[in-house]
Structure 1
Amino acid sequence: MATKRWIRRPEGSTWGDWGEDDERGRANLLTPEAVLRGIHEVREGRTFCLSLPLDYPGGNALNPRRGPPVLRPTERDGKPFMNYPLRCDDPTATDVASDDQVVLALQYSTQWDTFAHVGQMFDVDGDGKLEDVYYNGFRANQDVVGPVVYAEDGTSTPTAAHRGALHLGVENIATACMQGRGVMVDLFAHYGRSGQLIGYDELMRVIEADEISIHPGDFVLFRTEFGRALLEMHRQPDTGKLFSTTSALDGRDPKLLQWVTDCGAVALVADNYAVEALPARPCTSDHCARLPLHEHCLFKLGCYLGELWYLSELADWLRENKRTSFLLTAPPLRLPGAVGSPLTPIATV
């Protein structure tokens, strides 16, 4: 007989709000009414690509674990299948064909974070024992299974095989389609390349000045100009310059976190590296999350995070036309078991 995954849920979380077995979180807010609200924003029929080229940022300076994609041909009889003349197999054939494959870090460039991307240590059973868990109480090593099991002291024991996210994988948001009303918060227009840390007060100044309205079920996008700066660096990112001159959300600001709770956004999206500032401001407790906005969104609320999107051209057009909202279409790869995914989001205005 199956047992409930959790007895206690984190304070302020949405665990169980959409059912004990829910894996979609706030994607459940993408109702037909929410999608239609996005469609009603289409007036010009103009589209914008919101993805960086997937070989950006370049190198692995932003994250040593993630390297750029490796693109290469498939093979046929030991030969590269690129400009392959089918007459090699059939003298009567006139075709020339190419076929390729890629080794790709799924969160190297423009990406979605799933709920299996960041979990926390939390006492889900109410027995005083902290366990490694993810959104809605799904467990590390049971529901998200890697090639090793890590002990409390950091030592590891190999498992039989890497199985990935058996629950909370990216396929859940692929089938949710991730389409609805997008709202642009243009931080760059107000704070420029100052590197301003954005807490609740700074955010409210922008929202009030630009008369931005946000509804539950919307996608909220933050333009900092990080994406355009990356493109200007031509795959040789200067991390010092990138992080010191572009804004990011203050994940340690409790008023900002409460705003994320109250606004009902399906996802927070930014053109920067992590949506929130890295490193976060120092923790005032003995133990706390190093990624506090990730904890609040992915672990507690079931609110998705999108990172390294390209927002500059869309944001410029919206400002020139005195608009802040549009239709966003942003499904990830339907790749079962993945904890993140590249995507090519589209804005339609």
Structure 2
Amino acid sequence: MSRWKKRPEGSNWGEFGPDDELGRVNLLTPEQVIKGVREVREGRVFCLSLPLDLPGGMALNPRRKPPRLAATERDGVPYMNFPMERLDASSIDVLSDDQVTLSLQYSTQWDALAHVGAQFDVEDDGQASKVYYNGFRAGSDVLNAEPDHAGGTCCDHGPSFGARRLGIQNFAVKGMQGRGVLVDIAKHHGHGRTVIGYQELMAIMREDDVVVEPGDMLVLRTGFAETVVEMAGRPDAEALHNAGAVLNGADGELLQWITDSGIVAICADNYAVEAYPALNQGQKKSLLPLHHHCLFKLGLPLAELWYLRELAEWLQSHGRNRFLLTAPPLRLPGAVGSPVTPIATV
């Protein structure tokens, strides 16, 4: 039985199958991976991740705490520089072993399709329900977390809370490898706050001879992550608010281009990819209309806080804008986001 009778206008629900959990990532085909591989000419590699303890503090998002690294323990003893002779007198080994408590979207990250849903009348009966891409339901497919117990554990039957469907592990299995195409907004608009709509984006792409084809991963350099690095773990919330370009998620032409272009993902070095709050009007609206359009309607994942400076400068100096992009998230069942260490190979 279908999970929905009516799908959102402009969505692709059902087009990749009634139980699809990949959305536009289905277009990341073996042929597209080969296109990415063909962009490798020198074998040079660029890491596109920030250090995962940046931005630092909680100024950027008060929900997300910095990672806390600690040693693993046994019987209250931390295992860092631990002499194994304590366990076996004949051993010459020294062991270090650690663990981390990490907000999965604190730093360089992917959004899963379960990250943003909407209240929508999927039954076409005048009653809105909380749903996600392809009609997956809040409460059954994406489980609730009680206010006094936001934690959960994985078990043989799936997570005790979080995404039973549309979790980040689907992208990990897919691999998230293919052709990346860089649009260097910072080169044209600087590192200050600029709202980029369809016209501005197209002007940059025309000037830099950037061509995007179906199956490509669009990568946007705004300079925001570079400002984060300059702050060295002591972020200034006001300065960050005025740093880096953001997409205008309320621009209908831009959203239609995302639909028509066939891109499979948008990866940006800024926070949230789009302007927040959005520049739209209305009594009932999405505060994040680009997230709504991409994650909820198209199943098109978004990535944030990537670090792109060295890659962008190298590509510019070599007259290129395409590269092999490899960016699988953690294969963590039930998660709605994930840290990632993207790698560009040129």
Question: Given the two structures, how large is their TM-score scaled by the length of structure 2?
Answer: 0.96
Given that 2:191 and 2:224 are in contact with CA atoms closer than 8 Å, whether structure 1 keeps it comes out as no
Find the residue that maps to 2:91 and give its secondary structure.
coil
Matching residue's letter, 2:308: L
Partner of 1:12: 10
Tell me, which stretches of 5 or more residues in structure 2 are unaligned? 153-159
- Please give the residue correspondences for 1:1-349 in structure 2 after superposition, counting only pairs within 5 Å: 3-148=1-146, 162-281=160-279, 283-349=280-346
Percent pairwise identity: 58
Find the residue that maps to 2:2 and give its secondary structure.
coil
**Residues of 2 paired with 1:114 and 1:336: CA distance?**
11
Tell me, which stretches of 5 or more residues in structure 1 are unaligned? 149-155
Matching residue's letter, 1:97: L
Given that 2:227 and 2:243 are in contact with CA atoms closer than 8 Å, whether structure 1 keeps it comes out as no
Bigger shift: 176-185 or 231-240? Answer: 231-240
- Going from structure 1 to structure 2, the CA distance change for 1:143 and 1:286 (only over 3 Å counts) comes to same
Matching residue's letter, 2:284: H
**Residues of 1 paired with 2:150 and 2:246: CA distance?**
38
Q: CA deviation at 1:157?
A: 10
Q: How many residues align?
A: 339
Q: CA deviation at 1:280?
A: 1.4
Matching residue's letter, 1:169: G
**Residues of 2 paired with 1:232 and 1:193: CA distance?**
12
Which deviations, in whole Å up to 9, do the C-alpha atoms of 1:50-90 show, x marking residues without a partner? Answer: 00000000000000000100100011221001110000011
**Residues of 2 paired with 1:120 and 1:312: CA distance?**
35
Partner of 1:152: none
**Residues of 1 paired with 2:295 and 2:106: CA distance?**
19
Which deviations, in whole Å up to 9, do the C-alpha atoms of 1:132-189 show, x marking residues without a partner? Answer: 00000000011000223xxxxxxx8989974210000011000110000000000001
Q: List structure 1 segments (4+ residues) > 3 angstroms apart after TM superposition.
A: 156-162
**Residues of 1 paired with 2:151 and 2:113: CA distance?**
24
Partner of 2:157: none
CA RMSD of aligned residues (A): 1.5
- Going from structure 1 to structure 2, the CA distance change for 1:238 and 1:157 (only over 3 Å counts) comes to closer
